[in-house]
Structure formats: structure tokens, C-alpha cells
Structure 1
Amino acid sequence: MNNYYSMSVLAVIAIAGISINAVAQHNYKLVWSDEFNNNALDEKAWNIEENGDGGGNNELQYYRRQNISFETDSASGAVCLVLTAKKESYNGKAFTSGRLNTAGKACFKHGKIVSRIKLPSTANGLWPAFWMLGNDFGSVGWPRCGEIDIVEMGNAEGIKHNTQDSFFNGACHWGYYNSQGQYPNYARSTTSDYSLQDGEFHTFTLEWDDDYVSMYLDQDKYPDAQPYYKMGVSDYSNDWGTGHYFQHEFFIVYDLAVGGNFTGITSSTGITALAQGEAKMYIDWVRVYQDSDDLAATASIPDGWGAGIDNVATTPTDKPVVIYDTLGNIVSEMNQGIYIVKTGDEVKKVFNR
């Protein structure tokens, strides 16, 4: 969610350390999730941001609590967390929207972080994002805390080429500003073969370990797809080395920004995406898995998460109830560990026994 200057090709190759065809094997287990089925935000896990400071990017919205809600998606029937961007004047801003984070409450080092999201039409001027910041942001500031942008849409290049519905990117920012006002970063844009603003849900996945951060689109549908973004995070060779900035806990952020440098639109007159008054970003769930063999992985989660029943859906259903372990295997009984109860494709309960 920040601007970045273009690094040289050699620098990008050295930092990314890309070996796209390398496949690592993982023994992932669920360590935390929010299924957003309770029609109320769990503020033991989430912080709602309320400000109009522009995010350091000349954004045009004022973030308000009132722009964060819960709705049942009419197509899928899933109860979702919803961020709504509105064309309305508030505290000197022409637009309002929603942003929330898990800073100091649900923070993770390493793992597989996945979210199922239905994105709004961004043309022109909306900037939805699912991303992470280092949990030391409050003490060391940005970009020293590190930033991982798992997905962003609405970029000026997509507007320029009329590919806003399929043009998206992942990025990382880290380090500190040098005397020329530059800092290290690596961003990679991709044009999908299909629309990501088609009224359907899509999954966005970050896989992160000692060596790499890798990002995947719709991995549930295309498990063999290559990452749309991959960067090495094990370089300690100098003060800007990625290893210094991506080996500690990060927190999760969702927001739906209006305008800003990323979109190339910094005046309210250029925003056409809210011509009908509002636009919504639906978040069905977010899940964090960690590799049981990764001894460096850590997780700081709210007290009592998963103790008993978490995120109970109360809507009656005649679909069969099936219990899965965190590897996706159907089980007949629950012993010790974390289990997921589903009816059809919808998660109903998460148990930690």
C-alpha cells in the first residue's frame, strides 16, 4: 500500500532470488482463522482504523468504523466482512471507506496466509488491498518494519491499458530511506487470464518461510499454478538485506482505498468508480497455516481462540455435516488438535480440542 521506485534489473534479480520451478513440501496446520460468520467483528483480533491521513499515498478517503459491516453474499450465501467505499463528504474528505488490521493481536512469522475475497470494480480510482505489515511498525516505523502486499488492484497501468479487472500486483517494501530518499522494494505486476472483478470470490495466498515469500492466485482451483510473485528473504549481506526485515511477526491488513498515487488519481474529480454512490469489497474468510516442521515459525493469537467453538454460523441447513482435520482429511471423531466442521463448502465451526 505504498509507492515504490523502480530498482535496477540486476538489483531486482539479486533480491528476488527467484527459482520459480522449485517446489517445497510443507506440513501445514491451521493456527488461526476468522471465518466472519458471527455478523460481528471480533475485536480481540481486529483493530478498526479511523483516520483521513491519506495513508502516505495521497489517498482521498476517510476511514470510518461505519464503513465496516457484515453481509450475506447473495450469490454464495456466505456471511462476509464487507468494506464499503462511499461517495460522501466527511471531515474534509469527499469519500469514506473501511480499513482494519490485526496489529498486536494476531501476528505471524512464516506460514501460509490465505483469504477468499470478492473484489469490487475498481475503474476508475478504487484501490483494494490485502496485505501485511511488520508488528514492530509502531516502534521502528515504515519501511523498516517491512511490508508484504499480497494483492492490490486499481493501478494506473491497468487504467492506462483498460485492464483494471485483471491487472494486479504483489510487492514487498523494507529497509530505510537513503540520502536520495530511496528505499529497497520489489513489485511485480501480472495480468490474469480472467477477470478478478467478475462478481466471484477469488483466493489470494502468501507462502512465507526462511527463504522466500511467494504469492498465488486461486490456488484452490489451480494447485499447480506458478506464483505470481516470489522474492528471497534470506539476504543478510548488507543493511538493506531482506533477511533483516522479513524474519519477524507481521499483522494482516485489509482496506479499500479511494484514489492515491498507486491509482494515479489524486483529485476527487477523477474518481468514477463511485458514480453510483458506493462499492463493496467482500471478505469471506482469512486462514493462517504454519508448517509443523518450520521451527522458526511463530504465532501470537488472541487468548481463547478456538477454545470450544469459534465463528458459529446459525443459519439452518440440510446439507450433511462433515468434520475435517487441518490437512483436509475427513475424520469420524475429534481428539486433540484443531478441527473444521463444514456443511457443504461452508465452514460452520472451528474447534480446538
Structure 2
Amino acid sequence: MDKIKQPAQDLESPSMPVKHMRKTRSRKFVFIGLICFCLLLFVIGGYFQWGYTPPQLPGWTLVFDDEFDGTSLDMQKWNIEDSAAGGYQSCCLDYGVQRFTPQALSLSRGSLRITTRQIHNMDGYLYTSGAITTENKFSFKYGRVDIRARLPKTQGYWPALWLLPKRVVGIEPFEIDIMELLGKDPRTVHMTNYWGTSKNTEGFIGPDFSQNYHEFSVVWTHTSISWYIDGMPRFKSTQGISDQSMYLIINSTLGGSWAGNPDKSTVLPQYMDVDYVRIYQPTPEILNGQVRRV
């Protein structure tokens, strides 16, 4: 017996004329397209943080901020370490086996990236890396520093976020290390307060800090310095508290007496990514008036 062919669905049914159906479909496509476009703008805007405004913290006034959302570094805020003759060179980055070069710095996807790589030879150096400072452009006395960063991971790596006073002759009177990490141990963050030849230091063992971004903070008052990682208190020093205005250094160093030099296990290139730098100063009411406005 032959199969009885079922009639095709009648697209021209009285309840849905062809012209009306086409218009309805067109409207649906336009509506869906608008939704997709809005979602795309939302995702891109969030990804690049268009027009992003840093949070206002109760009791604190934002005095310095860089979200690294532009296409180039803001030279009104930063100095770029440059080992070349005539380049900017800070007082205290003369360690490690790298040559500091501006080409190691780039801005992408709302973050500052410091790239450390191996090269054939550049004036006797086999590695390049990067560093920036706010020396002579911004300094502050007492406040809060929040820096969100993702750190590198390999033998010989030594990234750091730290504060120094203006240049002095001899031993620096004060130094606040917000964060130091040795690439061979990416789960341990070191936090240190130096005064003269003395220091107070603590290590915190956490997750692998090379896998995701984490926020490293210090709150510096005239009586104490407190360290926080992702908002959680990790260390506090009440000795040798700096009473001098200090500037910020962000650097990615390879080698040095503490980190050890790169070896055959070292994997390059490596990246240190900084999402933002925010510095606040206290308003008079914070901490029940115990912090002086500066």
C-alpha cells in the first residue's frame, strides 16, 4: 500500500497572513538584536570598566587613583624605570639581573601588565622587566593603599609593592613593603615594616597568588601599620612607624640575593598584572578621631 502523503503545513492560513507573519518575525529579530546589542555593551563596558568610579569608603578621601583603563600610562602620575643612559632611575631598584625598559609595560583590558622576558643581549643583560614609581609626582603621609594585582610564578621572580620616603643619603629611614613574593613560592606573601636597620615582618600563606587577582592593602596611621589581603587583616606593626611622606613603587624584578637567580626551571615570559591603585587619606572622624588629618 502506498503511503499517504501528508499535506504540507499551510503557511497562508487565514489566522496568519504571510505579510503579517513576516512583519512579526522581523520585529522579533529586531527586538532580539537590540537585546543582544545591549548585553554586548554591558559586557564590554564591565570588561573595560568604562567610566568606572572607585568606591568611596566611609571615613576616607580618595587622593590618588589609577584604574589603568587608558591606552597608555598616565605620565602625570608615574615615572617609568629605564636602565638606559638618561632614563629615570629610582634610588633602590639596583638589584636583580634584569634591565628595566619602558617596553616591558603595557595597558590592556583595564590592567597594567609588566612583562619579564628573556632576550638575546642588551648591553650585557639577558632579561628585561619593568617598574614604575610616583616619586616627585605623588607622595602622602598616613593613609590607606589598595592595590589589586595578579602575580607571576617562577624561580627567580621577585615582584613587590612598596613605599619609600624621598631620597636620602645612606640607609633609608623607613620602608613599608605592602607585598613581596618569591616566584618559587607563589602562595606566600611577605609584609614588612623597616625603620633604619630594624624591621618587623610577617609571611602569610594563602592561595596561589599567580592564578587570580587579589587585593593587597595597608592602613598606615601615626601609631600603627596594618596589612590586609582581600580585605582580611593579616599583620600589624606598632614599632618604628614612619612619620615621613612616602611614594609608591611597583616593580617586577628577576634575581637578587633573596629570590635567587633564574635557572633552567625558570619559565619566561612572566606577567605581573595590576588592576588598580587607590590611595586614600583619613577624614578626622575615622578610628574615633585617633588619626590625624594630613
Tell me the SS of whatever aligns to 1:290: strand
Contact persistence 1:57–1:261 (CA under 8 A): no
Shift of 1:57: 6.9
Q: Name the counterpart of 2:208.
A: 195
1: CA distance, partners of 2:159 / 2:147:
13
Shift of 1:81: 1.0
CA distance 1:166–1:116, change in 2 (3 Å): same
Q: Name the counterpart of 1:59.
A: 96
Contact persistence 1:259–1:271 (CA under 8 A): no
Identity %: 26
After superposition, residues 204-283 of structure 1 pair within 5 angstroms as 204-219=216-231, 225=232, 227-233=233-239, 242-243=240-241, 246-263=242-259, 265-266=260-261, 268=262, 270=263, 272-273=265-266, 275=267, 277-283=268-274
Note the alpha carbon deviations across 1:69-99, whole angstroms, 9 max, x for none: 1112xxxxxx111111011132211111001
Shift of 1:288: 0.9
Q: Say which one has the larger Rg.
A: 2
Q: Name the counterpart of 1:118.
A: 150
Which of 51, 60, 80 is the aligned partner of 2:111? Answer: 80
- Structure 1 segments, 4+ long, off by >6 Å, are none
Contact persistence 1:85–1:95 (CA under 8 A): yes
Shift of 1:26: 7.1
Tell me the SS of whatever aligns to 2:265: coil
Contact persistence 1:57–1:260 (CA under 8 A): no
Q: Name the counterpart of 2:124.
A: 92
1: CA distance, partners of 2:140 / 2:170:
18
Q: Name the counterpart of 2:171.
A: 142
Which stretch shifts more, 100-109 or 88-97? 88-97
1: CA distance, partners of 2:276 / 2:265:
29
Shift of 1:271: 5.9
Q: Name the counterpart of 1:20.
A: none
Shift of 1:272: 3.2
Matched, 1:185 2:185: no
Contact persistence 1:48–1:65 (CA under 8 A): yes
2: CA distance, partners of 1:208 / 1:44:
25
AA at the equivalent of 1:254:
I
1: CA distance, partners of 2:293 / 2:139:
11
2: CA distance, partners of 1:65 / 1:56:
15
AA at the equivalent of 2:215:
T
Structure 2: runs of 5 or more not aligned: 1-56
TM-score normalized by structure 1? 0.60
1: CA distance, partners of 2:151 / 2:157:
10
1: CA distance, partners of 2:275 / 2:181:
18
Note the alpha carbon deviations across 1:17-39, whole angstroms, 9 max, x for none: xxxxxxxx971121221111111
Q: Name the counterpart of 1:76.
A: none
Shift of 1:56: 6.6
Q: Name the counterpart of 2:192.
A: 171
2: CA distance, partners of 1:118 / 1:56:
21
1: CA distance, partners of 2:264 / 2:256:
10
Shift of 1:209: 0.5
2: CA distance, partners of 1:26 / 1:232:
24
Tell me the SS of whatever aligns to 1:66: helix
Tell me the SS of whatever aligns to 1:108: coil
CA distance 1:271–1:151, change in 2 (3 Å): farther
AA at the equivalent of 2:97:
L
Note the alpha carbon deviations across 1:181-223, whole angstroms, 9 max, x for none: xx1112211211x22111x11100010101101111001xxxx
1: CA distance, partners of 2:63 / 2:270:
32
1: CA distance, partners of 2:292 / 2:244:
9
2: CA distance, partners of 1:35 / 1:141:
35
Is the helix fraction higher in 1 or 2?
2
Note the alpha carbon deviations across 1:251-272, whole angstroms, 9 max, x for none: 0110000011121x14x5x263
AA at the equivalent of 1:197:
S
Q: Name the counterpart of 2:280.
A: 289
AA at the equivalent of 1:68:
L
CA distance 1:130–1:195, change in 2 (3 Å): same
CA distance 1:45–1:142, change in 2 (3 Å): farther
